[in-house]
A and B are shown apart, each in its own frame.
Chain A
Amino acid sequence: MNTRFIQFSLLIIIFSLFYSVAAFSQQNKPDSLFRLYETQTTVSKQLDVLIGICNSDFIHDKSTQNFVQHGIENIQNNFSTKCDTGKYYLIEGYLYYYSDENSKSKNNFFHSLNYLISCSDLSVNIPQAYNGIASVYSSESKSDSVLFYYQKEIDFYLKNKQFSFLPKAYFNLAFEKYEFFDAKGAITACNQSIKFGTIQKEYKSIAKAYSLLSRISYDQNTKMNYSFIESAIYFAKKSNDTVTLSDTYTKYGYYLTKDKKYKEGLEIGDQLKELFLSNPDIYKLEFNYYQYFSRYYSAIGDITNSLLFYNKTINLIRKNKLDEKSFGWIFNNMGDVACKGGDFKKGIIFLDSAIYYNKKYNDINNLWYSYYNMALANQALKNYKLANDYFLEYLNLNDSIIKKENQDKLAELQTKYELDKKESRLKLLNLDNQLNKKNTEKQSQQILFLLVIIAVTVLLIVLASIAYNIKRKANILLSKQKQEIIEKTEQLNKQAADIAMYKAQMNPHFLFNAINSVQQFVLEKQSSVALEYLNDLSKLMRSTLNFSDKEFISIKEEIDYLQQYIRFEKLRCDNKFEFHIFVTDEIDIENTCILPMLIQPFIENAVKHGIIPKNAKGNIYLNFEKVKDFKNEFLKITISDDGVGRALSQATKKYDVIAHESKGMEITENRIFKLNQKHFPEPIKGIKIIDIFVEDKSAGTKAEILIPFIELF
């Protein structure tokens, strides 16, 4: 964004400089251009002004070239950017071009391109460099390269939408195509130039394009040349560019002369003269004026005047210290004119000069003509040997021209190859730059990516920990609920066990037997005894209810309960037994815990299976003692009787009685097992039933219960 903006503003500055240069050049005052150069504050702007000067018409002036040369030497060591260096080489390229050092010029232009491309894609100097290269090739007559670089220049403008330069560029292309005999391509390029020129109001280029079109149509005898050249004159006038107008008039006059319309031709010559007279400082106007008349007089056969104007041309060139390259063809023409006028001696002198300059500037084509003319002139003077020699030279040159054309072609191909190499290197460099840029972008992207990954990772960790926490909480909740459920289940199980226990306690046989006994007392009218038993029974039931929601009761409570119970058992079996309770001193019966109604089933069993079958009176003993093993304290409860013993008792039992008893015992065993499981890590055998034998005879049953010794406080 930023670089774009800078480029854009740079472009604006450059354009404005160009326009100011153009404006100054319009005023025909190179001095003001030099001043413009001196007022620039930065090296870059100074270079821009110099480039502007190089692109103006003044550059043909040796003094202007010197000025540019000095200007560039002044700032040569102050280049800070690649752009500046590129501009420097561009200017050097121009300077070498105008001093006819083509290879140096080319090299500089290529150098320039090298720097400019790596400095900015948008620099207007890049197409200028292309243009310069094309110009150099043009002067070397290397058609393919010329067209290639002009095309590149155009492509650049099109790509970067710099349309204002297109009319001129298309004209240059058109001109070169014409020069290299591609009339069709030239017409297309001219049309493009006119098209873009109309849009950009670049009348100068339009005029030149029309002028070129007229030339083409003249060459092809389409008779369109006059209408084209009139359009050219119209636009040249509109452009206010006197040089272009002059060039156009020259061409117009040339057609007229060729068509032998000498009268109109002279009028055009007058126009040229007037143009020159109103702008006597402009070299090109003067040159056109002299040249036109030299040809005009030659055409009408006025050899003296023709030669006079040729001389004026030569003097003009010498006066302006311009290169003497054109002397070759000028002397050649002079020689031709002189020979036509019959003055072969004079002609030979001119042609001699022509050969000299053509050789000097290596202008093979003109040299060829010079030799040919020389041979004819010497033939006319009957200097056959010389004529023969020149003719041979002419033929040799012809060969060498063909040869040279081939060599040139070869050389061109070679340079083109090298050029391609350079181009591809440039492209590579560019790609490298882009790659570097991309790499930096990529790096920053990678860093960003890394940061994103880190952020995401952190986020994930946070989320995971949150999720974990939630899960953990859920787990805790779940385990809590599970625990609750387990507790609830245990409670329910306990309740179920309790219900089973009470059911077992509320043994229907016991109840019915108890009530049966009371009935007996009522019948015998022992009402007090009956009431006592009924009240005891209700107390027993009340105790059962009171114990139902208790985990533990004290031994005292259990003993109280058992004594009420024993009353009924005694009543049932006619006081057939005595009940004895022993508690060791270390036990505080009020403070020591026992499962409620734990002992009653054992008493019930002792009565049923020990005492009742016994023929004599028996005893039931209940002992409480505290016992210890190496790590645990137990409450040991022993219920023993001196009854008949289990073996005998089993035989006399009825089935349903066994069922109830086993169920009652099963519940009791289960309660003891659970209590011990809760208190002791290792399994404890909670109930032991021991058959008592005295002298090998069954002497009763003993039940030992081991439960943890628990105190309330």
Chain B
Amino acid sequence: MTKAILVDDAPSNLQLLNGLLNEYCPTVSVVATCTNIKDAEKAIKKNAPELVFLDVELQNELGFNLFDLFPSPDFEVVFTTAHEKYALQAIKSSCLEYLLKPIDYRELIKAVEKFEKQKQLTVNKKKIEVLLENVNNSKQTVNKIAIPNANGYVFLNTSEILFCEADMNYTKVVTSNRDSFLSTKNLKEFEEMLDTEVFFRCHKSWLINLNFIKQYSRIDGTRVQMTNDQWIDISVRKRDDFLKIFNRK
């Protein structure tokens, strides 16, 4: 049995999630339900749960604040959130689990199954660091991302990313120190995660960091050369947008 704690400021939501878990996830036993971080802290310390379903938007506080009390938690977290774009972007970039409200029981089952399959607590601390950094930085931009790969996760500063290249449904991420990582996320997901002020989707297959452009050429089509000397095409339809951004800079 997986010991779980539910945190949500609305009691009806707690009842619904409790009901759904009872109905569809019989391996999960809810040991406590809390409406604020303080109660959650007590419950966690008392019950030592393996899984915490944490609402992001609590009354007067954010669910993320729980990590101030548990910087290196020995429990896995699944966030529940309605439609909060920024928080969702931070969660996505840290590769933590989340469920959108209203919670779809089919996705709840998937999340629980995933947890029971992996139970990887070792990387949890790193993911939370990424999350907190992205949440707490003043510009509210994604500074760090967790990239899932075949072996687990790679944690990168976004400022290190030179460009991302689509490879079927995967994405190859190349950094400024010439490392490259293959991610299971597609290019569109990277585009959504990364800051549009810095990253530009110049092509169907390319997402480039504008800070690493060395030169621009119109010979053999419109192309840019990155600082690693690689030439990247700019699609015809994106050329005007690109020049607009470039002139602005």
Contact = CB atoms under 8 A, between A and B. Distances in A.
A446 to B, nearest CB: 57
B235 A542 contact: no
Contacts of B237: 710-713
A538 interface: yes
Contacts of A542: 83, 100
Interface residues on B, range: 10 to 19
Contacts of B106: 532, 535
Interface in B94-139: 100, 102, 104-106
Given A542-B83, A545-B83, A712 B104 contact: no
Contacts of A545: 83
Contacts of B238: 713
Nearest to A534: B102
Contacts of B104: 531-532, 535
Nearest to B103: A535
Given A545-B83, A713-B235, A713-B238, A591 B102 contact: no
B72 to A, nearest CB: 34
A528 interface: yes
Given A542-B83, A542-B100, A545-B83, A713 B105 contact: no
A710 B23 CA distance: 47
B204 A713 contact: yes
A538 B204 CA distance: 30
A531 B105 contact: yes
Contact of B105 (A528, A710, A711, A712): A528
Contacts of B102: 534-535, 538
B203 interface: yes
Contacts of A532: 104, 106
Nearest to B206: A713
B83 A713 contact: no
Interface string B232-249: 000101100000000000
A481 to B, nearest CB: 20
Contacts of A712: 204, 237
Nearest to B205: A713
A116 B100 CA distance: 121
B3 to A, nearest CB: 25
Contacts of A711: 237
A535 B110 CA distance: 15
Contact of A713 (B23, B100, B203): B203
A102 B238 CA distance: 116
Interface string B210-249: 0000000000000000000000000101100000000000
Nearest to B19: A527
A577 B100 CA distance: 31
A534 B104 CA distance: 9
Contacts, number: 26
Nearest to A535: B104
Interface in B166-216: 201, 203-204
Interface in A519-541: 527-528, 531-532, 534-535, 538
B85 to A, nearest CB: 9
Contacts of A534: 102
A82 B204 CA distance: 104
A711 B235 CA distance: 10
A553 to B, nearest CB: 12
A528 B204 CA distance: 39
Contacts of A531: 104-105
A284 B83 CA distance: 142
Interface in A269-289: none
Interface in A37-53: none
B131 to A, nearest CB: 22
Interface in A79-136: none
A545 B144 CA distance: 27
Nearest to B20: A531
Nearest to B201: A713
A98 to B, nearest CB: 106
Nearest to B104: A535
A167 to B, nearest CB: 98
B184 to A, nearest CB: 18
Interface string A129-168: 0000000000000000000000000000000000000000
A316 to B, nearest CB: 121
Contact of B204 (A535, A591, A710): A591
A712 B104 CA distance: 32
A582 B83 CA distance: 33
Contacts of B105: 528, 531, 535
Contacts of A527: 23
B201 to A, nearest CB: 8
Interface string B73-104: 00000000001000000000000000010101
Contacts of B23: 527
A409 B104 CA distance: 147
B206 to A, nearest CB: 9
Nearest to B24: A528
B94 to A, nearest CB: 21
A545 B84 CA distance: 12
A528 B109 CA distance: 13
A591 B188 CA distance: 12
Interface string A201-227: 000000000000000000000000000
A542 B104 CA distance: 13
Contacts of B235: 713
A535 B104 CA distance: 6
Interface string A549-592: 00000000000000000000000000000000000000000010
A61 B237 CA distance: 123
Interface string A699-713: 000000000001111
A534 B103 CA distance: 10
Contacts of A535: 102, 104-106
Contacts of B204: 591, 712-713
Interface string A678-713: 000000000000000000000000000000001111
Contacts of B201: 713
Nearest to B105: A531
B98 to A, nearest CB: 14
Nearest to B204: A713
B135 to A, nearest CB: 22
B187 to A, nearest CB: 10
Nearest to B235: A713
Nearest to A536: B104
Nearest to A545: B83
B185 to A, nearest CB: 15
Nearest to A591: B204
A538 B104 CA distance: 10
A542 B23 CA distance: 26
A171 B72 CA distance: 137
A112 B23 CA distance: 145
A712 B206 CA distance: 13
B57 to A, nearest CB: 16
A711 B237 CA distance: 8
13 contacts: A527-B23, A531-B105, A532-B104, A535-B102, A535-B105, A538-B102, A542-B83, A591-B204, A710-B237, A712-B204, A712-B237, A713-B203, A713-B235
Given A532-B106, A591-B204, 20 more contacts: A527-B23, A531-B104, A531-B105, A532-B104, A534-B102, A535-B102, A535-B104, A535-B105, A535-B106, A538-B102, A542-B100, A545-B83, A710-B237, A711-B237, A712-B237, A713-B201, A713-B204, A713-B235, A713-B237, A713-B238
Interface of B: 23, 83, 100, 102, 104-106, 201, 203-204, 235, 237-238
Q: When A and B form their complex, which 6 residue pairs have the shortest distance between CB atoms, in order from nearest? A: A713-B204, A535-B104, A713-B235, A538-B102, A531-B105, A713-B203
